[in-house]
């Protein structure tokens, strides 16, 4: 490893919750006095929360380290400590070089001021010198693509323009160490790509970057190494792909096989209970959860129980968004296959769903009906929750969103 520029040595940060005189809960003087009078001895019993504890790690010069972890794992607290916004309760940190933190885009922007004025103001807030801002001004404005509106108050900007300008200022910071929190969550897909490109540039200028994100694709794409935080402690530091994998493993939202309860079946139809779905299993789970990488086909195995011999059965499924919008449906007869006859007993069915879904969370509905009577035989509207991840099967980041609802693919053949 190169020269360490950040060394954290058993860093800890404790927050005190509850109504003690010195606690965060005391909002007015009356509360504080009241608490002291009512329960003078309870001061020591205040609820304490260690947002971080025993955190030790080093970051070498020019390294770009991703920091991942669930909400509340301590990621933001770590950045706040390193950027000196708040003071550690225990431990030490050593920092070599000028440090700049980007915990939020547009900090200090004032709506009444023009774009130009805000560039200077925001630059100063982020720790840039006036001369430095003046030198980079044109570059910042060009990057943000707001040349025409630079002398317009930012309150007249669209959200996109505002965020672009805000990111542009931040991206042109000349710091040795850059602490970044979720900045990529700004702007449209095109601008996000541009931001990623800029981040890449930043790394290659020899800067050291600590990058906190929930976007696994951005972590594996930008950071060779990553740090996994859990419950305020470092669980793992290593190659980003491995750490992301470990995180997804630990962070399973649903197991890859799901037992379906009787109650999940819709029963308000004729013949309810004759066919019952018992289990849905994802054959190709990623990271041990009901999740597949981007573009990876979804291979399901259903196990179902039939109470009496059935003929003319058609199986179907539907993929819904988590807000309940049906995205697409398919029946096993779609391509000309015939309805099936099933004997009483337990059976299995393998399904391969072509994955044209964007990264995100989806709900699978599974059912069957009779091709003759059109009666529903069974229907489970929320058989499984499926996560489509923002990484490809090989761990490459996923970027091709283009603001669209689904993926498509096309075959391209060039000729004279």
Partner 1 sequence: MQPPILEAQERIYDATRPFKGFVRELWAYRELAFFLAWRDVKVRYKQTLLGVGWAMLRPVVSMAIFTFVFHRMAGIASGGIAYPLFALAGIVGWNLVAEGVGAGSASLLGNTNLVTKVYFPRIVIPLSALARGLADVVPALCVFAVALAVYGAAPGWALAVLPLAVLHALAVAFGLSLWFSALSVRYRDVAHALPFVLQTLFWVSPVGYGAESVPAAVAMLYWCNPLTGVIQLFRFALLGSAHLPLELYVLSAACGLGILLSGLWFFQTVEADFADVI
Q: Is 61 in the site for partner 1 (CB under 8 A)?
A: yes
Taking CB under 8 A as the criterion, the residue among 74, 88, 221, 339 binding partner 1 is: 88
- Could you tell me whether strands 225-230 and 64-68 are parallel, antiparallel, or unpaired per DSSP bridges? parallel
Specify whether the CB–CB gap between 389 and 293 falls below 8 A.
yes
User: Strands (DSSP E) along 322-359, which ranges?
Assistant: 326-331, 340-342, 345-353
Is 32 strand, coil or helix? helix
Site for partner 1 in 14-33 (CB under 8 A): 15, 24, 26-30, 32
Environment class of 403 (CB within 10 Å of its CB; exposed 0-12, middle 13-18, buried 19+):
exposed
Specify whether the CB–CB gap between 399 and 197 falls below 8 A.
no
Taking CB under 8 A as the criterion, the residue among 42, 47, 94, 348 binding partner 1 is: 94
Q: Is 95 in the site for partner 1 (CB under 8 A)?
A: yes
Q: Is 327 in the site for partner 1 (CB under 8 A)?
A: no
> DSSP of 129-166, one letter per residue?
-HHHHHHHHHHHHHHHT-GGGTTSBGGGS-HHHHHHHH
Taking CB under 8 A as the criterion, the residue among 43, 121, 185, 399 binding partner 1 is: 121
Of 108-116, 136-144, 295-303, 344-352, which segment contacts partner 1 by CB under 8 A? 108-116
State how far Cα 141 lies from the chain centre: 29
Taking CB under 8 A as the criterion, the residue among 12, 69, 256, 293 binding partner 1 is: 12
Q: Is 395 in the site for partner 1 (CB under 8 A)?
A: no
Specify whether the CB–CB gap between 393 and 216 falls below 8 A.
no
Q: Is 49 in the site for partner 1 (CB under 8 A)?
A: no
Taking CB under 8 A as the criterion, the residue among 18, 58, 117, 152 binding partner 1 is: 117
In terms of DSSP H, where are the helices of 187-226? 189-204, 216-222
Taking CB under 8 A as the criterion, the residue among 92, 135, 262, 270 binding partner 1 is: 92
Taking CB under 8 A as the criterion, the residue among 17, 45, 48, 84 binding partner 1 is: 84
- Could you tell me whether strands 225-230 and 233-239 are parallel, antiparallel, or unpaired per DSSP bridges? antiparallel
Minimum Å gap between C-beta 89 and partner 1 is 6
Taking CB under 8 A as the criterion, the residue among 40, 44, 71, 87 binding partner 1 is: 87
Residues 200, 42: Cα–Cα separation, whole Å: 52
How many other C-beta atoms lie within 10 A of the C-beta of residue 372? 11
Q: Is 90 in the site for partner 1 (CB under 8 A)?
A: yes
User: Site mask, partner 1, residues 204-243, x = CB under 8 A?
Assistant: xxxxx-----------------------------------
Contact set with partner 1 (CB under 8 A): 2-3, 5, 11-12, 15, 24, 26-30, 32, 61-62, 80, 83-98, 101, 103-104, 107-108, 110, 112-113, 117, 120-121, 124-127, 129-130, 176, 204-208
């Amino acid at each position: 490893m190169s020269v360490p520029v950040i060394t954290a040595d058993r860093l800890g940060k404790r927050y005190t919750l509850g109504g003690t005189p010195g606690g965060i809960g005391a909002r007015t003087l009356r509360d504080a006095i009241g608490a002291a009078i009512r329960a003078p001895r309870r001061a020591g019993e205040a609820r304490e929360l260690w947002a971080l504890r025993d955190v030790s790690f080093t970051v070498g010069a020019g390294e770009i380290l991703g920091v991942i972890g669930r909400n509340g794992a301590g990621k933001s607290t770590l950045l706040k400590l390193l950027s000196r916004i708040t003071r550690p309760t225990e431990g030490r940190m050593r920092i070599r070089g000028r440090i700049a933190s980007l915990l939020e885009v547009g900090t200090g922007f004032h709506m009444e001021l023009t774009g130009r004025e805000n560039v200077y103001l925001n630059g100063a807030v982020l720790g840039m010198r006036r001369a430095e801002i003046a030198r980079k001004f044109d570059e910042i404005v060009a990057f943000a693509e707001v040349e025409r509106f630079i002398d317009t108050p930012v309150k007249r900007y669209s959200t996109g323009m505002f965020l672009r300008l805000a990111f542009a200022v931040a991206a042109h910071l000349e710091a040795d160490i850059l602490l970044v929190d979720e900045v990529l969550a700004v702007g449209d897909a095109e601008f996000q790509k541009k931001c990623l490109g800029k981040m890449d540039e930043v790394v290659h200028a020899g800067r050291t970057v600590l990058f906190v994100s929930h976007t696994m694709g951005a972590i594996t794409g930008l950071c060779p190494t990553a740090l996994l935080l859990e419950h305020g402690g470092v669980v793992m530091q290593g190659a980003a792909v491995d750490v992301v994998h470990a995180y997804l493993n630990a962070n399973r939202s649903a197991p890859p096989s799901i037992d379906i309860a009787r109650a999940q079946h819709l029963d308000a139809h004729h013949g309810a209970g004759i066919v019952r779905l018992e289990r849905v299993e994802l054959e190709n789970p990623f990271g041990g959860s009901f999740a597949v990488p981007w573009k990876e086909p979804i291979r399901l195995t259903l196990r179902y129980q039939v109470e009496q011999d059935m003929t003319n059965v058609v199986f179907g499924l539907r993929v819904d968004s988590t807000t309940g919008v049906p995205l697409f449906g398919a029946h096993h007869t779609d391509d000309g296959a015939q309805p099936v006859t099933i004997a009483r007993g337990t059976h299995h069915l393998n399904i391969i769903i072509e994955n044209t879904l964007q990264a995100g969370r989806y709900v699978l509905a599974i059912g069957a009906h009779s091709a003759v009577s059109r009666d529903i035989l069974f229907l489970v509207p929320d058989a499984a929750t499926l996560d489509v991840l923002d990484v490809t099967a090989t761990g490459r980041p996923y970027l091709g969103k283009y603001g669209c609802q689904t993926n498509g693919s096309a075959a391209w053949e060039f000729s004279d």
